[in-house]
């Protein structure tokens, strides 16, 4: 009916207006308190893709900085282990060339020290960082080295070779003339560390090392299609040579019924040469790892700087004009209060109030 009375249009319009004002006020209140635009992309309009690209860059920069820092920390832990290892090996290397090593008592003591040092080296090769084993190659989930005294472990393997050699000598003690065969002969001690022993359970990759044997280096991403690699797996020659030298010295603890004094003297000489070689290999390994550390640190520093610059750009783009927002918020507050008053007046209207005005 034309000219009729609507009892809903007015209140509905005011309700919509109030909801709109409240929504705008909530948004502005958030911006004023945080200092950041509630919807930066909408505020930028056609330039929004630039903001999205910056946000993507920041995510990538932060991820790269985090990964290179973690890899650098892992390498630092590896270097610490190698430094401790070098100190322990230097101590026994010094003991091996001392005059005490020429006496039966001194040789026995040296053998015991070698056994202790071997246990220390094995423990260091089981070093972990954040739950990951550092010397196990691709297999970082488990400890790569077998405990020295574990059943079927290093000490058992060494004793098995020595016992077999003595048995092959008719049960007679080995002399200096037998040492070369003890070390380099078929199924000799060296065969353990070259993984060529006929009894596979005695080989290095069973009795000493149980980590990854695929020979693949650890790869670290340092940029788009850019990586650096390093290899710290304990099946490398630097470690197996060192453990072979210590194994040879540990035999000095054997009784005279297995090794006579001349055999022990020959073992000291050959073991010292091999340990010296291993020390040089360890030094080379530390140098190679140091080069990678330097690269990772440079990348980490660069990405941190880039991330800081990118986030600063994002902050600038997302920054709200709090002074203008406060002014607008005050205006909206006034409008909202006026709307509340209008709504209250409309709610009091009724047909009874309206009819008198028609008959007046």
Provide the CA 200 distance to its chain's centre, in angstroms.
33
The string of DSSP codes covering 178-234 is HHHHHHHSTT-HHHHHTT--SSGGGSIIIIIB-S--S-PPEEEEEETTEEEEE---T
Quick one: tokens of 332?
A: 């909206």
pLDDT at 321: 57
pLDDT at 29: 67
pLDDT at 74: 95
Q: In degrees, to the nearest 5, what angle opens at C-alpha 83 toward C-alphas 88 and 195?
A: 70
Residues of the chain with pLDDT under 70: 1-38, 41-42, 320-326, 328-330, 332-333, 335-360
Q: How many other CB atoms are there within 10 angstroms of residue 177's CB atom?
A: 10
pLDDT at 263: 97
DSSP for residue 39: S
- 3-state secondary structure (DSSP) of residue 37: coil
Q: How many other CB atoms are there within 10 angstroms of residue 174's CB atom?
A: 24
Domain ranges of the chain: 60-306
Quick one: tokens of 86?
A: 């070098």
Provide the CA 227 distance to its chain's centre, in angstroms.
16
Task: Assign a CATH topology to domain 60-306.
Answer: f41 fragment of flagellin, N-terminal domain (1.20.1330)
pLDDT tens, position by position, 140-191: 999 999 999 999 999 999 999 999 999 999 999 999 999 999 999 999 999 9
- Work out the angle between the directed axes of helices 237-250 and 104-124 (0-180°, nearest 10): 150
* Residue bearing tokens 């927002």: 325
pLDDT at 14: 58
CA distance 259 to 340: 105
pLDDT tens, position by position, 283-325: 999 999 999 999 999 998 988 899 899 988 887 777 765 666 5
Asked whether the beta carbons of 90 and 279 are under 8 A apart, the reply is yes
- 3-state secondary structure (DSSP) of residue 173: coil
pLDDT at 32: 56
Asked whether the beta carbons of 65 and 282 are under 8 A apart, the reply is no
- Work out the angle between the directed axes of helices 154-168 and 104-124 (0-180°, nearest 10): 140
């Amino acid at each position: 009916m034309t000219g009729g009375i609507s009892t809903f249009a007015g209140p509905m319009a005011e309700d919509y207006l109030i909801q709109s004002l409240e929504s705008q006020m909530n948004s502005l209140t958030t911006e004023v308190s945080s200092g950041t635009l509630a919807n930066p992309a909408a505020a930028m309009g056609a330039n929004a893709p630039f903001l999205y690209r910056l946000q993507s860059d920041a995510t990538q920069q932060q991820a790269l900085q985090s990964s290179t820092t973690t890899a650098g920390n892992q390498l630092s832990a590896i270097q610490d282990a190698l430094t401790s290892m070098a100190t322990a090996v230097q101590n026994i290397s010094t003991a091996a060339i001392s005059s005490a090593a020429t006496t039966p008592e001194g040789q026995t003591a040296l053998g015991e020290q070698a056994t202790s040092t071997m246990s220390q080296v094995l423990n260091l090769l089981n070093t972990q960082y954040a739950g990951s084993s550092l010397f196990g190659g691709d297999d970082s989930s488990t400890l790569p080295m077998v405990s020295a005294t574990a059943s079927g472990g290093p000490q058992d393997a060494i004793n098995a070779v020595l016992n077999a050699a003595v048995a092959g000598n008719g049960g007679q003690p080995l002399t200096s003339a037998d040492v070369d065969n003890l070390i380099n002969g078929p199924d000799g001690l060296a065969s353990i560390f070259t993984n060529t022993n006929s009894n596979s359970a005695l080989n290095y990759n069973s009795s000493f090392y149980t980590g990854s044997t695929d020979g693949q280096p650890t790869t670290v991403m340092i940029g788009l299609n850019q990586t650096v690699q390093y290899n710290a797996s304990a099946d490398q020659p630097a470690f197996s040579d060192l453990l072979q030298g210590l194994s040879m010295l540990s035999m000095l603890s054997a009784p005279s019924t297995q090794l006579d004094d001349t055999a022990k003297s020959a073992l000291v000489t050959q073991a010292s040469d091999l340990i010296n070689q291993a020390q040089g290999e360890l030094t080379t390994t530390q140098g190679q790892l140091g080069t990678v550390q330097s690269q990772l640190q440079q990348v980490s520093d660069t990405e941190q700087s880039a991330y800081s610059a990118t986030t600063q750009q994002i902050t600038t783009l997302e920054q709200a004009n709090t002074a203008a927002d406060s002014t607008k918020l005050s205006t909206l507050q006034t409008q909202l209060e006026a709307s509340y008053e209008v709504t209250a007046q409309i709610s009091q209207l009724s047909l009874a109030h309206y009819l008198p005005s028609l008959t007046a």
